[in-house]
Amino acid sequence: MGKLLLVGLFTVFIGALTPARGEVVIRKLADTTNSTTTLADVAGMSITVEANRDYLIEAWLLVDTAVATTGIAVGVNGPASPIQIGGFFRTTVSNGTLDGGGFTSYNQTGQNTSSLLATTGNFVKLDCLFRNGSTAGTFTLRFASEIASSGVTVKAGSVLRYREIGR
């Protein structure tokens, strides 16, 4: 059994952590492009989830677009019958303000940005709390272009980080 210590401004856990509870980081090794308004898997950005477990999932996406006026939609997919999904994504758009959307179910569409800051070097942040039901399987990050026939590319070097919580 571990113990919590208050050290300055930080709370530190000291003790054994099981591998299932440890943080796992996945770095995307190749670009994935989608030129449709239909959500598609971001290759290399999926995780295996156990039945009846909760997960905290984050992603930092490096994104390029065909033109700066093309926005991005971000969603997720996973095993049948989840207990609860809650998440949102955000990015900086062409006028310098934050924009994004949220989701409460798999493959939820209609939430996208109206543009991105530039055609290259864009950054999208995703946060998600996923409560899986009785079916183990694969949880996958998905994305789409805001405009049909205008490509959005999630770049190599993007990162997905997750942790099982509340075991």
Instruction: Give the CATH number for residue 47.
Output: 2.60.120
In a domain, 91, yes or no: yes
In a domain, 12, yes or no: no
In a domain, 99, yes or no: yes
In a domain, 96, yes or no: yes
% of the chain with per-residue pLDDT over 90: 69
- Residues of the domain holding 79: 23-165
Domain count, the chain: 1
In a domain, 18, yes or no: no
% of the chain with per-residue pLDDT over 70: 85
In a domain, 74, yes or no: yes
Please enumerate in sequence order all residues whose Cβ is within 8 A of that of 19, keeping only pairs 6 or more positions apart, or say none. none
Which position has the higher pLDDT, 88 or 95? 88
What is the pTM assigned to this prediction?
A: 0.84
What value does the mean pLDDT take over residues 117-137?
95
In a domain, 4, yes or no: no
pLDDT digits (tens, 9 = 90+) for 43-90: 999 999 999 999 999 999 999 999 988 999 999 999 999 999 999 999
């946060």: which residue's tokens? 127
In a domain, 14, yes or no: no
Mean pLDDT over each residue of the chain, to the nearest integer: 87
Distance between CA atoms of residues 109 and 42, nearest Å: 16
